[in-house]
Amino acid sequence: MRYRRLGRTGLRVSELSYGAARGASEDPKQFIATVHACLDAGVNFIDSAAGYDGGLSETVLGEALQGYDDVFVETKYCPYESYAVGAAYIGTPQALVASAEESLRRLRRDCVDVFLGHGIRTLDTLDRFMNDGCYDAMCQLRDQGKVRFIGISELSEGDGTHQVLQKAVPTGAFDVVMLTLNLMLQTAETTVIPLAHQHDVGTVVMMALNQSSGHSGLTSRHAARELVHRYIAAGQLPNDPPYTDPELLDFLEPYSIPEAAIRYVLAHDVTTCCVGMRTPERLAANLRAIDPPYMDLERLRKLRELFGRIQWQTF
* Contact assessment for residue 271 and residue 72, using Cβ atoms and an 8 Å cutoff: no
pLDDT digits (tens, 9 = 90+) for 216-274: 899 999 999 999 999 999 999 999 999 999 999 999 999 999 999 999 999 999 999 99
Peptide bond just before 93 cis, omega within 30 deg: no
E strand segments, 187-252? 202-206
Does 83 qualify as catalytic in the annotation? no
Share of the chain above pLDDT 90, in %: 93
Among 25-29, 70-74, 282-286, the least confident range: 25-29
Listed in order, strand segments (DSSP E) in the chain are 3-5, 12-14, 16-19, 45-47, 72-77, 112-120, 147-154, 176-180, 202-206, 272-275
Q: How far apart are CA 298 and CA 165, in angstroms?
A: 29
Which residue from 155, 169, 163, 141 is spatially nearest to 89, judged by alpha carbons?
Answer: 155
Task: Indicate which residue of 18, 52, 231, 264 is catalytic.
Answer: 52
Torsion angle of the four alpha carbons 95, 119, 39, 98, in this order, in degrees rounded to the nearest 10: 0
pLDDT digits 0-9 by tens, 288-306: 999 899 999 999 999 999 9
Closest CA to 237 of 295, 178, 183: 183
Q: Average pLDDT in the 104-114 region?
A: 97
Instruction: Give the strand pairing for 12-14 and 3-5.
Output: antiparallel
Q: Does domain 13-307 have CATH number 3.20.20.100?
A: yes
Q: Is the dihedral of CA 64, 67, 70, 73 positive or negative?
A: positive
pLDDT tens digit sequence for 154-194: 999 999 999 999 999 999 999 999 999 999 999 999 999 99
What is the predicted pLDDT for the residue at 214? 67
Report the SS3 class of residue 96. Answer: helix
Statement: residue 315 has pLDDT above 90: no
DSSP state of 87: P
For residue 22, the model assigns a pLDDT of 86
pLDDT confidence bin for 215, thresholds 50/70/90:
confident
Whether 137 shows a pLDDT value over 70: the answer reads yes
Q: pLDDT at residue 213 above 80?
A: no
